[in-house]
C-alpha cells in the first residue's frame, strides 16, 4: 500500500504550535513523519533533544520517524549540529545536503535522500543507493514520465527493490535556497539581525507580480512556489511506480488532506482545491493545473 508521510515543518512556528501539530499527527493515519529544522539554523524553538522526545512519542504511536537535516550548511556550527543528528543512535536521517550523505556513508548508516540532493540521472541514483540510501525523494520539479524512465533504466532495474521512491505530493514546493534571508530583507533587516522575524509568517510571506498574482512564497532563505502543489488526483496512477507520498505541513488543514490522500490511495475519487497546481508531474510548467 502507498505510504503517506508528513514532511518536516518548513516554516518557523512557536514551540507550542509544533507540539500540538505532532500530537495530532500521532493520532493520524500517517505512516512516517520527518522531524527537524531544514531551512535556517537560527530557528531554535525546538532543539535536537526536543525532536528526540517527539520522535519517541511518534514511534510509540506506530509511526516511522526520520530526522531531517539542514539543506544549506554554512558554518562549522551547522556541521557540529549535523554530526549530533548523525550520532543520535536511534532514528534514520534524511540527508538534504551532500555533506550529510558523506557523513552517513562514512558511518555506514542508511538514509533518505531529500529532494535538495541533485539527483537527475540513473548513475547518480545508483551511487546514492551504494552509499546507503534507502528512500529517495524525487526532485520536486520532475515529472511522472521522467520518474518512469529513470526507474526502468538498466542501471536501476536490478537495484529497484533496494530503495523506496517518495514524491512530494502536497504543499508549497521548496524551489531554491540562498545564503541571503529574503524574509529579513523584506523587513529591511540584515540577516544577522533578523530578530527571527520568520515566526510572524507561519505559512511564509507571499510575493506578488504586477498583476497581483502570487508568484512565490518567501520562507527565510528558502523560496517556495506561490501556488500549492497537490497530487491528490494523481495518487491512483502512482501504483507500481511510487512507494510514498509526502505532505508538507501547513498551519491548517494538513491532516484533513492526509485523509483525502488516503482515500485516493484506496481508489476513491478526490478533487484538488481550485487554486492548487500539479504541472510539474505532467511535464509542464509548475503553475499549470492539469485536470
- DSSP states along 215-259: EEEEETTEEEEEEEEE-GGGGGG-TTT-SEEEE---SSSHHHHHH
Distance between CA 178 and CA 123 in Å, rounded?
Answer: 27
Q: What is the pLDDT of residues 34-82, one digit of tens each?
A: 999 999 999 999 999 999 999 999 999 999 999 999 999 989 999 999 9
In this prediction, residue 1 carries a pLDDT of 84
Distance between CA 77 and CA 71 in Å, rounded?
Answer: 14
Distance between CA 177 and CA 184 in Å, rounded?
Answer: 14
Distance between CA 284 and CA 125 in Å, rounded?
Answer: 23
Q: How many helices (H) and strands (E) does the chain have?
A: 9, 11
Q: What is the pLDDT of residues 251-266, one digit of tens each?
A: 999 999 999 999 999 9
Q: What is the pLDDT of residues 106-164, one digit of tens each?
A: 999 999 999 999 999 999 999 999 999 999 999 999 999 999 999 999 999 999 999 99
Q: Is the torsion defined by CA of 185, 186, 189, 195 positive or negative?
A: negative
Share of residues in the chain with pLDDT > 70 (%): 100
User: Under a CB-based contact definition with an 8 Å cutoff, are residues 131 and 101 in contact?
Assistant: yes
- pTM equals 0.96
pLDDT at 291 over 90: no
In this prediction, residue 14 carries a pLDDT of 97
User: Under a CB-based contact definition with an 8 Å cutoff, are residues 197 and 189 in contact?
Assistant: yes
Q: What is the pLDDT of residues 192-247, one digit of tens each?
A: 899 999 999 999 999 999 999 999 999 999 999 999 999 999 999 998 999 999 99
User: Under a CB-based contact definition with an 8 Å cutoff, are residues 42 and 74 in contact?
Assistant: no
Share of residues in the chain with pLDDT > 90 (%): 94
In this prediction, residue 134 carries a pLDDT of 98
All three cell numbers of 139: 526532485
**Region 83-102: what's the mean pLDDT?**
95
User: Under a CB-based contact definition with an 8 Å cutoff, are residues 141 and 168 in contact?
Assistant: no
Strands 214-219 and 222-230: antiparallel
Secondary structure (3-state) at 20? helix
Q: What is the pLDDT of residues 161-181, one digit of tens each?
A: 999 999 999 999 999 999 899
- The alpha helices in the chain, defined as continuous H runs, are 15-26, 48-60, 76-86, 98-107, 122-131, 144-151, 154-157, 182-186, 254-265
Average pLDDT value for the chain? 95
pLDDT at 85 over 90: yes
Secondary structure (3-state) at 120? coil
User: Under a CB-based contact definition with an 8 Å cutoff, are residues 133 and 105 in contact?
Assistant: no
Amino acid at each position: 500500500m502507498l505510504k503517506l508521510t508528513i514532511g518536516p515543518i518548513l516554516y518557523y512556528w512557536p514551540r507550542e504550535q509544533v507540539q500540538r501539530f505532532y500530537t495530532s499527527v500521532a493520532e493520524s493515519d500517517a505512516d512516517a513523519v520527518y522531524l527537524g529544522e531544514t531551512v535556517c539554523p537560527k530557528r531554535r524553538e525546538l532543539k535536537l533533544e526536543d525532536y528526540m522526545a517527539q520522535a519517541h512519542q511518534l514511534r510509540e504511536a506506530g509511526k516511522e520517524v526520520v530526522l531531517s537535516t539542514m539543506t544549506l550548511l554554512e558554518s562549522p556550527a551547522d556541521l557540529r549540529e549535523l554530526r549530533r543528528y548523525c550520532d543520535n543512535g536511534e532514528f534514520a536521517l534524511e540527508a538534504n545536503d551532500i555533506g550529510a550523505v558523506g557523513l552517513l556513508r562514512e558511518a555506514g548508516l542508511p538514509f533518505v535522500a531529500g529532494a535538495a540532493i541533485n539527483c537527475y540521472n540513473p548513475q547518480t541514483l545508483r551511487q546514492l543507493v551504494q552509499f546507503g540510501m534507502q528512500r529517495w525523494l524525487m526532485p520536486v520539479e520532475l515529472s511522472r514520465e521522467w520518474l518512469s524512465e529513470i526507474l526502468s533504466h538498466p542501471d536501476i532495474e536490478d537495484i529497484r527493490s533496494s530503495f523506496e521512491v517518495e514524491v512530494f505530493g502536497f504543499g508549497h514546493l521548496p524551489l531554491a535556497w540562498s545564503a541571503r534571508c529574503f524574509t529579513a530583507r523584506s523587513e529591511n533587516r540584515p540577516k544577522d539581525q533578523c530578530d527571527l522575524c520568520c515566526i510572524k509568517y507561519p505559512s511564509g510571506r507571499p510575493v506578488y507580480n504586477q498583476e497581483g498574482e502570487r508568484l512565490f512564497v518567501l520562507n527565510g532563505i528558502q523560496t517556495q512556489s506561490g501556488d500549492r502543489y497537490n497530487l491528490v488526483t494523481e495518487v491512483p496512477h502512482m501504483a507500481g511506480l511510487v512507494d510514498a507520498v509526502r505532505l508538507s505541513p501547513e498551519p491548517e488543514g494538513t491532516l484533513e488532506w492526509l485523509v483525502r490522500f488516503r482515500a485516493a490511495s484506496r481508489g476513491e475519487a478526490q478533487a484538488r482545491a481550485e487554486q492548487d497546481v500539479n504541472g510539474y508531474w505532467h511535464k509542464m510548467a509548475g503553475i499549470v493545473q492539469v485536470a
